[in-house]
Structures are given as structure tokens and as C-alpha cells.
Amino acid sequence: MQDLGNTQFFKVEAEKEISVKNVLKAAFDSMTEKGYNPVNQIVGYIMSGDPTYITSYKGARNVMMKVERDELVEELLKEYIVNNNWG
């Protein structure tokens, strides 16, 4: 029988935050490893919102779904602008 006179403590560990850049890198690496074209797969996911475009291998799909699709587009565009010396 439980002692209802004492308060129980429950601690939830905060999830580590992962940057959008790292999410994309993890998904890219996982899809490359599995033989998929990561560019096509990421575009398919961003356009449709269907997570099955991203492999579940090494948890890539779960990590990718923690980031909003507009954040993915924003990060990709920022990197494109920087890499092409537009800004």
C-alpha cells in the first residue's frame, strides 16, 4: 500500500535541443547511407509534409519531425545565400 501522506517527486529530463542545421545533416547522412537521394527526399517532405519521405534509419524521421518545415526552408535558404555570397 502506498504512503499517501508524502509527496512523490517526478522529474522529466528536458530533451536536448538540436539545431535545424544538425537535423538536416543527420537526415542527409542517414538517407545517403541508405542509398536514397537526400535532396529529392527532403524536398518531397518539405513540399508534402509526409514524413515517410524521410528514412527512419538512425532516427532521422523522428528528429526531422521535431522541426517545422518552414524552419527547414529558412535554414536551407540562409545557407544558400551565404554560400553564394549574396549577403
Could you tell me the three cell numbers for 63?
Answer: 528528429
Of 36, 54, 58, 55, give the one whose Cα is nearest residue 45: 54
Q: End-to-end CA distance of the chain: give it in Å, rounded.
A: 67
Distance CA 80, CA 86 (A): 9
In this prediction the pTM is 0.78
Distance CA 4, CA 18 (A): 39
Q: Which residues contact 67 (CB under 8 A, 6 or more apart)?
A: 20, 23
**Domain parsing of the chain, residue ranges:** 20-83
Distance CA 86, CA 6 (A): 62
Which pLDDT value is given to residue 15?
64
What average pLDDT values come out for the chain (87 residues) when binned by 10 residues?
Answer: 74 78 96 97 97 97 96 95 90
